[in-house]
Chains A and B, each alone.
Chain A
Amino acid sequence: MENLSEQAYAYLLLAPAFALLVVIAFWPLFEALRMSFFADDVLGGGKLGEFTGLTNYVQLLTNNNALAPATFLDPSFEVPILQQALFMTLLFAIITVVGETLLGFAYAMLMKKDFRGRRWVRVLIILPWSIPIVIQGMIFFLMFRPGFGLLTEPLQQLGIFSSIPLNTTFDGFVIVTVTDIWKTSAFMALLILAGLESVNQDLYEVADVMGASTWQRFRYITFPLVFPALMVAMLFRTMGALRVYGVIESTSVGCTTLPSMTCLVTQLMFGSSALYGSAAAASVLIAVVVGLFISVYLVFIRRSDQELGPA
């Protein structure tokens, strides 16, 4: 090892990490792609049927697979299951990311200020992020549980919630969204804080000298300079939101009430008949959707980088 060139030594040091990543990430990605071209073996046992090309994808897109689990979104089976999952997941992603960005921005501004007790304010902001997803689910399950939860009754009286909120798609969606925003705003806040702290403080003094108001300082200095960091933070969060699964299971809303894209994979896999081919196809479609989002964000980030010039 002592005689390796710098380059060879670097590769040697990287080997364990990338070996793990190849086994856990890269290989399964390609394997999933391969599996998605094979038919489901209805008899289970973790086997795949014949090579069927794109059939699984076609079935997912057209809802042509009689074995696929039904969902509450459309009991009549007319809307393809994939379309339901996609619609639900995208809606969830948009609402949570917007909500978390707004809240996160507020948290970040608060965390940046220096005041007595800042340490404890920061602790309280980060705390929800460090709570296991399953416990978050538990908290909000208890809060929204019918006949018991603190918030259920008022919401029902206002006519917003139905009598069985955990089993109603709209109510479940609200519950899951609130849960996610509560937890993840803190993470968003930390990423935005990173951007805020990278802003050159001298600029604020310049602005003060020029007589800018608080709002103007935010509008003309903070926001444009934080924008790239904001985009990165939103990119991270969008990726997280698109893979939503834990909060759905742990709030007891469940995948049948709220079929996210990840739900689709687990439902197909662990459902009454193990539809591995279809599950693989669904998982590949998730990767495609995620990939599309990444590309859109990267275009935005690159554009805003160019506008700002080299930092």
Chain B
Amino acid sequence: MARVKLTDVTKEYGDVTAVNNMNLDLKDGEFITLVGPSGCGKSTTLETVAGLTKPTSGTIEIGDREVTNLPPKDRGIAMVFQNIALFPHMDVYDNISFGLRLRDFPQEEMDERVDEAARVVQLQGMLDRMPSEMSGGQRQRVAIARAIVREPEVFLMDEPLANLDAKLRVNMRTELQRLHKQLDTTIIYVTHNQAEAMTMSDRISVLNKGELQQIAPPLVCYNEPANRFVAGFIGSPSMNFARATINDGQLDTDDYSVDFDATVVEELEDGDDVEMGVRPEDLYLADNREEAHDPSQPLGVETDVLEPMGDQIFVYLKPVGESGSGMGDVEERQGLLMSVDPDTDIVEEQSIEVVIDRARIHLFDMQTGDALSHGVVREAATAEADDGEAEAGDDGAQVS
């Protein structure tokens, strides 16, 4: 167990900067997830911690030691890989004990440790199998056993569930959490799947284009995203965004207007543009307006496409009288996405009235994308000035 600290870590490949000035400080025993779209630098960051890649600049500490220039084997780490990476020419016992053998452990202790690791991942009785004779889930367990058998200070996991089928993935998610509780080891977990990140971690660090966007507990990232990128990346389906102009206590978009308390964004004046974001679950039918913390005035819209999911219905909304959102890209889709209860009486092409929960409207700077305000009414608002010291942790939001 150990804390892990990255200070100003930068990795360049030729002209490409894979990781730019990354600062992370993980507490002992923390489960932290690096999440972001592919190419965001999360795997490269993990590789620098593992020692598989040497950072162009910056330092890495594990425990009390600076390990920037140490080879992987001397860093006290273990790693689970996306493609599982079991040695196909060794049986399960040899795979698990590989690291112990390299360190000349006595046979007896090796047996003991391998048995214990096999028990933890429920692989008893399979030690003499070859990886090729096992299922994907079993192989992943072997890979995990191989990692825990050495009792590392830090666990690194590079998309360990990405190659498993959907059902198995959900099971393994739970198992990893159980494992973390049991072992109480610092875990750095890389994934592009925001749902995995949300469900498993103590804190999430969201990366984009090699830069840290936000590091905070999952719900903070969800409720108070540091910028437009985090807001759009965390949460499924994604947040609705619209350009809005401030106009005398109102946020005017092309299609509708919402009253708001202009004092939550004191630095903005009438006529300024902001990016306004609303999550689908923060839209309500006007009839259910009491469910919202602070409902806006009703907006008249027309339903477009319905997507019944079973536990909820996604409703695509379009301005009254328009022909629909067409086949455009999701990013460019006009209109709003709203989620409603599955038993709601609603059909396609129906005129309805909806309200927006003003306590849950996020405003972002048009240019920088930085969050300006979460909630647009005074009592509910968490002003931008507050969240630096609040839940976001020691590093706060790293916003470029």
A residues less than 8 Å from B146 (CB atoms): none
> Is A3's CB within 8 Å of the partner chain B?
yes
Tell me, in angstroms, the Cα distance from A160 to B59 when the chains sit together. Answer: 83
In angstroms, Cα B11 to Cα A5, docked, is 12
For B70, list chain A residues within 8 Å (CB).
2
Which residues 1-37 of A have a CB within 8 angstroms of B?
2-3, 5
By a CB distance below 8 angstroms, the chain A residues around B71 are: 2-3
* CB closest residue in chain B, given A1: B71
Considering the chains assembled together, what is the distance between the CA atoms of A232 and B233 in angstroms? 53
- B69 at the binding interface (Cβ < 8 Å): yes
For the complex, what is the distance from the CA of A5 to the CA of B12, rounded to whole Å? 12
Chain B contacts with A in 67-116, Cβ cutoff 8 A: 69-71
- Cβ of B141 under 8 Å from chain A: no
Q: Report how far A291 CA is from B114 CA in the complex, Å.
A: 61
Q: A5 CA to B70 CA in the complex, in Å?
A: 13
**How many Å from the CB of B95 to the closest CB on chain A?**
23
| Chain A nearest Cβ from B400, distance in angstroms | 27
Q: Shortest Cβ distance from A83 into chain B, in angstroms? A: 54
Across-interface contacts of B54 in A (CB, < 8 A)? 3, 5
Residues of the B chain whose Cβ atoms lie less than 8 Å from the Cβ of A5:
54
Closest to B72 in A: A2
For the complex, what is the distance from the CA of A98 to the CA of B347, rounded to whole Å? 79
Chain B residue at minimal CB-CB distance from A5: B54
A-contact bits for B40-71, CB 8 A (1 contact / 0 none): 00000000000000100000000000000111
Distance between Cα atoms of A5 and B69 in the complex (Å): 11
Interface residues of B in 225-251 (CB under 8 A from A): none
Smallest CB-CB separation from B53: which chain A residue?
A: A6
Min CB gap A4→B, angstroms: 9
Please, which residues of chain B bring their CB within 8 A of the CB of A3? 54, 69, 71
User: In whole angstroms, what is the CA distance A2 to B71 when docked?
Assistant: 6
B56 — nearest CB in chain A belongs to which residue?
A5
B55 to chain A, nearest CB (A): 11
Alpha-carbon separation in the docked complex, A3 to B70 (Å): 8
Per the bound structure, the CA–CA distance linking A63 and B322 in Å amounts to 96
Q: Which residue of B lies closest to A3 (CB)?
A: B69
Q: How far is the CB of A3 from chain B (nearest CB, A)?
A: 5
CA of A3 to CA of B69, assembled, Å: 6
A2 vs B69: C-alpha distance when bound (angstroms):
8
Alpha-carbon distance between A2 and B75 when the two chains are bound, in angstroms: 13
Q: Which residues of B contact A2 (CB under 8 A)?
A: 70-71
Instruction: Report the nearest B residue to A2, measured CB to CB.
Output: B71
Cα distance, A251 to B297, chains bound together (Å): 105
Nearest residue (CB) in A for B74 is A2
Contact residues, B248-285 vs A (CB, 8 A): none
Task: Please name the residue on chain A nearest to B73 by beta carbon.
Answer: A2
Complex formed: what's the CA distance from A2 to B54 in Å?
Answer: 10
Complex CA distance for A3 and B71, rounded to whole angstroms: 7
Tell me the A142-174 residues at the B interface (CB within 8 Å): none
Cα A4 to Cα B69 with chains together (Å): 10
Report chain A residues within 8 Å CB of B69: 3
In the assembled complex, the CB of A1 is this many whole angstroms from the nearest CB of chain B, namely 9
Contact with A along B159-173 (1 / 0, CB 8 A): 000000000000000
CB distance from A199 to the nearest CB of B (A): 30
The 8 A CB mask of A287-305 against B (1 = contact, 0 = none) is 0000000000000000000
Rounded to whole angstroms, the CA-CA distance of A2 and B70 in the bound complex is: 8
What is the minimal beta-carbon distance from B268 to any residue of chain A, in angstroms?
48
In the complex, what distance in Å separates the CA atom of A5 from the CA atom of B56? 10
CA distance A267 to B54 in the complex (A): 57
Nearest CB in chain B to that of A4: its residue: B54
Of all chain B residues, the one with the shortest Cβ separation from A6 is: B53
B68 to nearest A CB, angstroms?
9
Bound together, the chains give a CA A3 to CA B54 distance in angstroms of: 7
Q: Which residue of A lies closest to B70 (CB)?
A: A2
From residue B76, how far is it (CB to closest CB) to chain A in Å? 15
A180 to chain B, nearest CB (A): 42
The answer for the CA separation of A3 and B73 in the assembled complex, in Å, is: 12
> Cα distance A236–B70 when bound, in Å?
47
Distance (whole angstroms) from the CB of A51 to the closest CB of chain B: 47
* CA distance in complex: A306, B67 (Å): 51
- Within the complex, the shortest CB–CB distance from A200 to chain B, in Å, comes to 28
CB-nearest residue of chain A relative to B71?
A2
Bound Cα distance from A93 to B300, whole angstroms: 89
CB distance from A6 to the nearest CB of B (A): 8
B10 to chain A, nearest CB (A): 14
Q: Mask for A47-86, Cβ within 8 A of B = 1, else 0?
A: 0000000000000000000000000000000000000000
Chain B's nearest CB lies how many Å from the CB of A10?
Answer: 14
B13 to chain A: closest residue by CB: A6
Task: Give the nearest-CB partner of B51 in chain A.
Answer: A2
Q: How far is the CB of B62 from chain A (nearest CB, A)?
A: 16
The residue in chain A whose Cβ has the minimal distance to the Cβ of B68 is: A3
| Distance from B202 Cβ to chain A, minimum over Cβ atoms (Å) | 32
| Contacting residues of chain B (330-352) with chain A, CB-CB under 8 angstroms | none
CA distance A5 to B71 in the complex (A): 12
Mark each residue of chain A from 95 to 139: 1 if its CB lies under 8 Å from any CB of chain B, else 0: 000000000000000000000000000000000000000000000
**How many angstroms from the CA of A2 to the CA of B53 in the assembled complex?**
10
Complex CA–CA separation, A2 to B51 (angstroms)? 9
Against A, the Cβ 8 Å flags (1 = close, 0 = not) of B184-210 are: 000000000000000000000000000
Provide the bound-state CA to CA distance between A140 and B70, in Å: 64
Q: In the complex, how many angstroms separate the beta carbon of B379 from the nearest chain A beta carbon?
A: 56
Alpha-carbon distance between A5 and B54 when the two chains are bound, in angstroms? 7
Bound complex: CA A3 to CA B67 (Å): 11
6 inter-chain pairs at a CB distance below 8 angstroms, sorted by A residue, are A2-B70, A2-B71, A3-B54, A3-B69, A3-B71, A5-B54
Interface residues in chain B, defined as those with a beta carbon under 8 Å from any beta carbon in chain A? 54, 69-71
- Shortest beta-carbon contacts, A-B, top 6: A2-B71, A3-B69, A3-B54, A5-B54, A3-B71, A2-B70
